Amino acid sequence: MYEIVRSGSCASCALHSLASRPRLLRSLRAPFAAAPLARSGRSQRLQEVPLGLRSAHWLARFALCLGLFASAVGTAAPNPAAADWAALEREARGQSVYFNAWAGEQKANDYIAWAAAQVEQRFGIRLVHVKLADTGAAVARVFAEKQAGNHSRGAVDLLWINGENFAALKSAGLLYGPWAEQLPNFRLTDPEHSPAVRFDFSVPVDGYEVPWGKAQLVFYHDAAMVGVPPRSIAELLPWARQHRGQFSYVRPPQFLGTTFLKQALLELASDPQALYAPVEQADFAAVTAPLWAYLDALHPHLWRSGRAFPDSGPALRQRLADGELSLAYTFNASEVTAAIANRELPASVQPYVLDAGTLGNMSFLAIAFNARHKAAAMLVANFLLSPEAQAHKNDPRVWGSPTVLAMAQLAAVDRARFEGLPALPGTLPATALERVLAEPHVSWVDALDRAWLQRYVGR
């Protein structure tokens, strides 16, 4: 069963008041982000729409004004011992879990449909994919329900989330937990040796969400059009001058657009460590001055001379497939592999990672503080973290989303699930994806987006 949720739409006047503010909550802009969606009133089809400027931080401040912040974050979760897991399964049987998840990639939607069939067969749980154009709509709904006094019958059970959306909900006490590290499959992430599973854009997770997938910024070029691609942000500028119009980046504040800004700033800033503290602690103008000087020089050499920008990752990919571009980028290395296998990209396309590394992060699953069916949501999350589900998601023929599990923690039979996956043309070696740059503090996202829009929109 699928429900389409319009960005900014709601079921209460409270949410309408949130949605009417000039700066709405930013979308998840998922690590695997593609085109945002909207529901056409006439054809009922999904289509691309531009994102407006949104801010999770505004909602956090709104929550503070409402007095929603508490000294204890979230709603306390029970601490079931392993022996109680069977009891949790009995409680969850027959429950429905409303899984609010971004729906901008068909492969992700198909995977969730597969997972829904699995949990219904195994646990008797009905998993409903609430297809989101903008994760901010679900986050705003949780805020509105809190304001309306709805503490136990929320519309959101499980939520695919990360970044500023997680930070806003966690700081406002609107998440259930801590629960994540109680899941039997959580240990398979090897948290002691993989600390990234406990941080979300530099914000401690504290057990309020469980890792689900990870991704990394990867560039790709058509070797038939250009021989040697740029290996750094600094090299990109002279390359663009020599290959005029053959590169562009996604328009901020869409996730991939903001990611390009962060990647460039980390390389260009004189003190990149400043990006790992809250933006309020930095001299924003001074830290970002090299970025704006760089973009001012780069834009005239971009596709359409920098007067327009692709609005999504798929749009960027399509322009390369059509020969308009020879260089592009994505936040999912397997996207290139799958596109080559599906003949959506020519076989001459080759992915690569910048020499100094590229940004990488994780996406997570969280449970709303007022979720109706918390037991079933935990069962679903634990299944999605299982070796079977993670390997199926990792299969480039299915989705190609990298696993969050540590191979050393898996039994031989479960490691074989991953080792048996096909190595398709365009697959990067694992060593190439080891050069990962940590995401800046979440507060830099909104600040960079606002500054970019103020500087370049309308030019």
* pLDDT given for residue 74 in this prediction: 62
Q: Helices 284-298 and 233-242 meet at what angle, rounded to 10?
A: 20
- Conformation bin of residue 289: beta by default, left when phi > 0, alpha when psi is -120 to 50: alpha
| Mean pLDDT of all residues belonging to the chain | 83
Greater pLDDT, 201 or 131: 131
* Residue 253 and residue 277 in one domain: yes
* pLDDT given for residue 218 in this prediction: 95
Whether the predicted pLDDT of 52 surpasses 90? no
* Residue 226 and residue 192 in one domain: no
pLDDT tier at 445, thresholds 50, 70, 90: very high
* Residue 368 and residue 352 in one domain: no
CB atoms within 10 A of CB 271: 9
* pLDDT given for residue 53 in this prediction: 31
* pLDDT given for residue 50 in this prediction: 28
CATH number at residue 340: 3.40.190.10
Whether 432 is covered by a domain: the verdict is no
Closest CA to 359 of 250, 155, 175, 214: 214
pLDDT tier at 51, thresholds 50, 70, 90: very low
Total domains in the fold of the chain: 2
Q: Helices 106-123 and 374-384 meet at what angle, rounded to 10?
A: 120
Whether 163 is covered by a domain: the verdict is yes
Whether 62 is covered by a domain: the verdict is yes
Whether the predicted pLDDT of 104 surpasses 60? yes
Whether the predicted pLDDT of 69 surpasses 60? no
* Residue 62 and residue 177 in one domain: yes
pLDDT tier at 105, thresholds 50, 70, 90: confident
Span 195-204, average pLDDT: 88
Segment 331-341, tens digit of pLDDT: 988 888 888 88
Domain that holds residue 225: 216-360+437-456
Count CA atoms closer than 13 A to 121's CA, side-chain side: 6
* Residue 410 and residue 449 in one domain: no
For the chain, percent of residues with pLDDT exceeding 70 = 80
Tokens representing 360 are: 């990488």
Whether 38 is covered by a domain: the verdict is yes
* Residue 64 and residue 210 in one domain: yes
* pLDDT given for residue 434 in this prediction: 67
What is the Cα gyration radius of the chain? Answer: 21
Span 66-95, average pLDDT: 67
Tokens representing 201 are: 């854009």
* Residue 305 and residue 443 in one domain: yes
Give CA torsion, residues 395, 401, 402, 407, to 10 deg.
-50
CB atoms within 10 A of CB 355: 11
CB atoms within 10 A of CB 397: 15
Greater pLDDT, 12 or 136: 136
Distance CA 421, CA 432 (A): 18
* pLDDT given for residue 237 in this prediction: 98
Whether 394 is covered by a domain: the verdict is yes
Segment 215-254, tens digit of pLDDT: 899 999 999 999 899 999 999 999 999 999 999 999 999 9
* pLDDT given for residue 392 in this prediction: 95
Span 395-399, average pLDDT: 86
* Residue 372 and residue 273 in one domain: no
pLDDT tier at 288, thresholds 50, 70, 90: very high
Whether the predicted pLDDT of 182 surpasses 90? yes
* Residue 152 and residue 277 in one domain: no
Who contacts 328 (Cβ-Cβ below 8 Å, separation ≥6)? 219, 220, 221, 247, 248, 316, 317, 319, 320
* pLDDT given for residue 323 in this prediction: 95
* pLDDT given for residue 67 in this prediction: 40
* Residue 405 and residue 282 in one domain: no
* Residue 393 and residue 337 in one domain: no
Span 306-331, average pLDDT: 95
State which amino acid sits at residue 161.
I
Span 367-382, average pLDDT: 97
* Residue 168 and residue 220 in one domain: no
pLDDT tier at 8, thresholds 50, 70, 90: very low
pLDDT tier at 49, thresholds 50, 70, 90: very low
Distance CA 328, CA 318 (A): 10
Whether 177 is covered by a domain: the verdict is yes
